[in-house]
Amino acid sequence: MNSWDLVDGSARYILGAYLFEYKKDRSILYRLARSKNLWDKRIAVISTHYFLLKDDYSDTLAISEILLGDTHDLIHKAVGWMLREVGKRSLKAEERFLDAHAAHMPRTTLRYAIERFVPARRAFYMDLKYGTLSA
């Protein structure tokens, strides 16, 4: 897979479903997340979307943390999207992650992650990002 639309349309249903349904070792996702290849990294985080559909978000959060330092916008968007998906299932888990990382995560990631928050909560996390508050 070598484009965002191919990764986004298939990773969760191929790799994510395989790992979840057959109870396979998920360490491959962590190797992919640490790869130098953009598509490997995106596959790692998007594959966890299948887990989210089963209310299992621990790998999404761990891989998101690994990818926070990435410089590519397509990774920023993917991580933010998956964090937003975590919040749909466990707002507390998403907010714990944001409390720990909002101040240093890429703007695009944060914007995607807080997209569904009420305006006051979005403003709170944007203030954390830009130093007007502390967690």
Is this model's pTM higher than 0.85 or not? Answer: yes
- In angstroms, the CA 36 to CA 117 distance is 33
> What is the reported pLDDT for 2?
78
Q: What is the pLDDT of residues 76-120, one digit of tens each?
A: 999 999 999 999 999 999 999 999 999 999 999 999 999 999 999
Whole-number Å distance between alpha carbons of 1 and 22: 22
Terminal-residue alpha carbon distance, the chain? 39
CATH 1.25.10.90 holds for 4-129: yes
Per-residue tokens: 111: 């914007």
Mean of pLDDT over the chain: 95
